[in-house]
Amino acid sequence: MAPSVESVVESGGGRVFIVEPLAATGGDGKELSKHGTEQKSHTFDEAIDVAGFGRTSWQVFLVSALIMLAVLNETMGISILIPAAHCDLHLSATDKGMLTGVSFAGIILTSHLWGYLADTKGRKNVIILSLALTTVCSLASSLASDFATIVVLRLLVGMCISAPSATIYAYLGEFTKTERRTMMISFASVAVGLSSISVGTLGWIFLSFNWRLNLFDVVEFRPWRLLLILYSLPGAIGAAWMVFLPESPKFYLSQGRDDKALAVLQRMFLENHRDCTVEDFVVKRITPEVDAEEAKAKPKGFLAVMGSMWQQTVPLLRRPNLLYFVVCCALQFGMFFVSAGMGLWYPEIVNRITSANQSVPATICEVLQGVHSSDEDFVAYVEKECDDRMTQDVFVYVIVLGSIYTFLYLAMSTLLQKIRRGHILFFNLFTSGVCGVLLAYVNDPYFVLLCFCAFMVFAGSSISLVNGAAVSLFPTHVRAMAVCLSLMMGRLGSVAGTNLIGLIMEDSCTLTFNVFAGCSLLGAMLTLVLPSR
């Protein structure tokens, strides 16, 4: 008998999912209808097109955006909290740098493992488990009483948030037709800008208070700890929401579980078209995925799992995937190097620019070097009395940056309907590089801030375009692995960028900005290798 498929019937209490047999097969293995006639085999894109866009599609889109927001909250939100927490945790400048980048280190450590699990165990299960673990570790870190404890816990947060940070792109893309994937991912990535806005707004609200609550004479609970809890809520909500959503039908198809894939598509069709019935869903058979039979093998034992992970990676290192995989990794490294590496220093640099009170026009490097001359006096003052107050300007600049990100993501998502992805990607990175070069030479303070924001935002907003390209370019059975590994290279770029600024900015400011600008311009050239659509 042919495999069974989940279908839906109406009952007095609403829609109920049942299991019924698929059509029988003929002697040649082709599907036959109940009348004995051969049934058409639909491609996955054709089946998704029949399922349509509606209730399920909107839920997948919204939960994906929420999880993207959660990822940014957990990785970038800490940069707002560190100035408010440095007195409680007795943080040195080195400690602050470690705490800022430790979550990225966690992401790098586990990207390969999570990519393997997402490709073999399912997108949904991996996302729910990792978000639940992230929430637990994040809540625990809000109660940390010393530097060592919070560093370990934030490392664990990074190791857990690594899974949804990449897998959610594959999950969203696999509920969307191929030609619309990049556009949908770009729309969902508006959450990146919204995260910056929410982080800045919540920080502005809660860090303006100075209350203290003594918990069991062990931890002094202050506003920054409450803020850390609030930043973790989107992840908890996203995990709970995912429980009620289906697994990716494309994943099921890649595993050779065609009946499960068809059941999910049938569910999508009925939820997207509330006035339709099971009989209206014309897709009865889906063209199987290549390599689906190989994906069914389940390794047992540690060495077998390690071998399976390697086998899952090998296809990316062979033709025809190798070139695109290397380019995606290089682009992610460069874009994170510029946007996240420079972005983590954004509040500090902008604060120096706006507080310099220059009587004559000065370039960004002249301002930074001028402020640096008084750093020793400032450090001596801080050592006398720890001051963890934050100026309102910091929050305003973070909100402004988030607003620019949001606008650019919305603009890109609209333009993707008419302009090819590759053309937008080239324009973004080229513009970022030009703005980076100009930064070392322009001296109008407003133009400096404009170039600085554009430098980061045009590079950062391109990340979603490369993620969309990766989801479209690689086969389903290695797609999550490809996205995870390319994003792992991106996180490595953010760590490299952050540390490079700390090492050479104050001694070689112009060189620093030229290196970062050159990275964007090189990325623009690499985009020419990828398909424009």
Residue type, 25: T
How many residues belong to the chain?
533
Same domain, 26 and 70: no
Under the banding of pLDDT at 50, 70 and 90, the label for residue 299 is low
CATH of the domain at 330: 1.20.1250.20
Q: How far is CA 382 from CA 347, 377, 379, 385, 386, in A?
A: 19, 9, 5, 5, 6
Decide if 157 contacts 74 (C-beta within 8 A).
Answer: yes
Measured between alpha carbons, how far is 44 from 38 in angstroms, rounded to an integer? 19
Same domain, 418 and 383: yes
Same domain, 487 and 376: yes
Same domain, 4 and 27: yes
Q: In the prediction, which pLDDT does 140 show?
A: 93
Q: What is the pLDDT of residues 322-340, one digit of tens each?
A: 888 888 889 999 998 988 8
Same domain, 164 and 25: no
Instruction: State the residue for tokens 């513009």.
Output: 431
Report residue 286 as tokens.
């889906």
Under the banding of pLDDT at 50, 70 and 90, the label for residue 136 is very high
H or E stretch at 444: none
Instruction: State the residue for tokens 């050159």.
Output: 518
Instruction: State the residue for tokens 């890109």.
Output: 412
Q: What is the pLDDT of residues 163-195, one digit of tens each?
A: 998 888 888 888 887 667 777 877 888 888 888
Same domain, 166 and 281: no
- 299 within some domain: no
Same domain, 341 and 389: yes
Q: In the prediction, which pLDDT does 241 show?
A: 95
Residue type, 446: Y
Q: How many domains does the chain have?
A: 2
Mean pLDDT, the chain, whole residue set: 78
- 343 within some domain: yes
Question: Which of 364, 325, 335 lies closest to 484 in space, CA to CA?
Answer: 325
Decide if 70 contacts 238 (C-beta within 8 A).
Answer: yes
Same domain, 3 and 72: no
- 278 within some domain: yes
Q: What is the pLDDT of residues 465-493, one digit of tens each?
A: 888 787 777 777 777 778 778 888 888 88
Report residue 388 as tokens.
């963890």
Q: In the prediction, which pLDDT does 133 show?
A: 95
Same domain, 29 and 115: no
Instruction: State the residue for tokens 């109920």.
Output: 16
- 49 within some domain: no
Same domain, 399 and 502: yes
Give the strand pairing for 213-215 and 219-221. Answer: antiparallel
- 294 within some domain: no
Same domain, 237 and 167: yes
User: CA 161, 163, 166, 169: dihedral to nearest 10 degrees?
Assistant: -110
Measured between alpha carbons, how far is 101 from 50 in angstroms, rounded to an integer? 45
- 337 within some domain: yes
Same domain, 405 and 423: yes
Largest Cα–Cα separation, the chain = 89
Q: In the prediction, which pLDDT does 306 show?
A: 62
Q: In the prediction, which pLDDT does 431 show?
A: 92
- 20 within some domain: yes
Mean pLDDT of 376-383: 44
| Domain extent for 9 | 1-39+256-287
Measured between alpha carbons, how far is 328 from 320 in angstroms, rounded to an integer? 14
Decide if 516 contacts 341 (C-beta within 8 A).
Answer: yes
- 304 within some domain: no
